[in-house]
Each structure stands twice: as C-alpha cells, then as structure tokens.
Structure 1
Amino acid sequence: MKIEIWSDVACPWCYIGKRRFETALAAFPHRETVEVQWRSYQLDPSLPDHYDGTELDYLSTRKGMAPAQVTGMFAHVADQARGEGLNFRFDDVVVANSFTAHRLIHLAAAHGQQDAAKERLLSDHFEHGKDIGSRDYLTSLGLDLGIGATELEDLFTTDRYADDVRLDFEEGRALGITGVPFFVIDRKFGLSGAQPAETFATALEQAWRDSRPPEMVSPVGGGDACGPEGCAT
C-alpha cells in the first residue's frame, strides 16, 4: 500500500495531521507493507525568501485577516497541537518561503531520510523558531541527516530537485488538491485535512481490504450442488 501525503512545512495542520496519521499507522496490523511518500505543496509560492514580519503580521496583512481573528486561530491550533504532544510557538515562527526546504526533502529522500527531514523542518519551524528559508539552517539540518557537504552545496548553488518539487505541485493540482494536508492512498482514496487518528485507521483498513483479492475457499465435503454443466441428480 502506498500513501502519498501532500503538505507544506509552513502548514501547522500538516504537522498535526502527521502526528495523527502516525498514531493510526503505528496501530495498523499491516504497517510493514505501507510505503509513505511526502509530496510537496506550497500554501503561498509568492512569499519572498525572507519575510520581514511576524506570523501575525503576515496573516493579517497578506491574507487580510483581522489580528484578533489570527490570534484566536493561533490559540485553537496550538491547543490541538498540544493534544498530539506538540508545542507550537507562533510568536517565534520565522516566516519564509518553503521552496528550498522542499528541495531538501527530496534530497533527503534519496538518502532514505525523507520522513526525518520532514519531521525536523516542521518541528524546527513551529516549535523552535528556526528559519526554514535560511541556507545556513538547511545546511546544518542536511548535515545532521548524514547528507554530505558537497551535495548540500550543490543543492544551494543549482536548481537541483526544483523540477521534482514543481511536479509534486502539478500532480496535486491534477488530483484536485486545493489544501493540505491531503492523504492519497493507492491513488484510490483521498483524505483532506488533519483527520482524527480514528478516521485514518478506518481508511487504512478499508484500503487494505479493497486491495486484497478475494480469498479462495477450499471445498469441504461432497454434498449435492449445481454447476455450469447442471445439477447433481
């Protein structure tokens, strides 16, 4: 079973959804057969590499939301995050474009470290006030994941993986994805948003059943029956 998850590292519900999905996956009896692939999505591709302002400023000025509304939203999201063991600190969030961070996730995937990169970026962005648009920060993260300095230098001095990130965007649009997180199971089932763990569990079980061929039943006994050639007499 393959599960593709479109999300943005600048999306708070994507981190909450990741935790809830992981809770469901940990309890799934067939979890060893599940392949998870993180796909790129940007909530605001027009955002500059570094935005001179707080998350509150950004949402209230660029998104046209009233400051009081944004503050209330922060409180609600942070409360939901705490329920998943996460400590969101919106006052410390550094607003930055996430495109290069998505490129780093693709590079990490080539080293078998995709989930680790995704987890660190989300945690560092929402819990530790790190600048996900900073080359220094992303280099440090890459080194922590065991990626060589030469490869990281190449990432930042070329457009390596840029096309892969854009392809994720295009595939998401083709699937009708307009918000994240969005979970696609075997390209047959789609779940939008940070669903409760119970909903993810139900979806996993349903997808598993639907992907299994019907089991053959071994006949027992020789009772009278009908077949293509007629009925027993």
Structure 2
Amino acid sequence: MSSQALRVGMLGGTFDPIHHGHLRSALEAREALGLDRLHMIPAPKPPLRGEPQVSAEQRLTLLTLGIGETPGLYADDRELRRDGPSYSIDTLIELRKEYGPQARLVMIIGFDAFLRLAQWHQAQALFDHAHLAVMARPGYAAPWPEELTELVGAREVEGADSLMQRPSGGVMMLTLPSQMAISATYIRKRLGEGKSTRYLLPEAVEEAIGKNGFYRHFSSHDE
C-alpha cells in the first residue's frame, strides 16, 4: 500500500521574502522524501518582529512568483485565510482530511524549530496526523532538550523508505545536499540599503519587489 499512497509535504515559513535558499530546500526535500506534492504555506505574521512592511498577501504573491512552474511545489494560502491563531496542528488536520487516512503526510521543519517542538501547541498530536522531517542547518548543531527527547521517543527512523511505511508518526533527520545559507534578514537589509540582491532571489521576485517598492526600509527590529 505504501508505494501507492500519495506522499504530501507541508513546509511553513514567513518567506519574507521567498528566496533561492527556501526554494532549493523545498525542491531537495521533495526529492529526498519522494513527495508527490509539497505545500509551501506562508505564516500570517512573522514571529518575534514588529508589524512587517510587506503584508501576508504580498508575501504570498512573491511566493507564487518564486515557485513559478516548478513541478510539485504549491503556494498554499490556508493559514492566511484562517481566523485567530494559526497552529501547525490545524493545518495538518486540514491536509489529512483533504488527502485521506492513507496518504503519507510529512511536516518539514528546520532544526532550530525542532529544538522548540515540545513547546508547540498540541505537540504530541502532531504525530497523530503526520511525520516530521527535520532539515539540518549549515554549521548548526545542538543537543536535544530533555522534553524533546521524551516527545520524540522511539519515533526516529533512518531514510524516507522507512518513514513512508506508515501514514504518520515518524521522525527523520534530513540533510539536504545544497544547504544554501541565505538569510531573509540579510536580503531585507540589502534591499533597505538599495543594494543588489541578484542571484539571492528568483528574477520574478526581485522584479516584483523593485516594482512595488517592498522592503525599502530596514531597522534593527526586522532582525
């Protein structure tokens, strides 16, 4: 059954703005996990910063432009349409309802986010609906907090084939080949200073940012 079941991924982020690092990671994660489709889902409001200069809808537009015609990647606006707080568990429940009980559903997150997983809303319930694939970050490693070790338990598996034996419930460490260390903060800073972002962003995204005057001002609060 596992060879026929649809493989679906969820990759959330602020994408502020979407850049080649995000897109290359999405593409390589899709390949590594053998996903039929990967939903890239902008978060309504960037965490730990003040009000963004660029609206969620504008970030979604840039994401759509960045993805372009790339097979298997989809810009998904569901969290922007949701009232109240937007939790990953709610998104996974929606995707599970859409794709059915046998689909292999994988939430892809970065290692830094993974370290805080035990503090997430209904963290234990995430595994009822999806697997977790954790992307390594270039030059970044840290010991797992005790509560994270307890949460993960014996869920960790080696390799996508093992992960995809079941619809949900596993954890897999994912080391991507490119590991492009591009920072959205760095891009916003360069844009705010009127400096070139060529080769950091897809051309269509760079053009739209310039045309609409996005990210013209940068402050330390944007960090």
- Which is greater in Rg? 1
Q: Which protein has the bigger strand share?
A: 2
Same fold (TM over 0.5): no
Tell me the TM-score normalised to structure 1 length.
0.28
Higher relative contact order (CA 8 A, sep 6+): 1
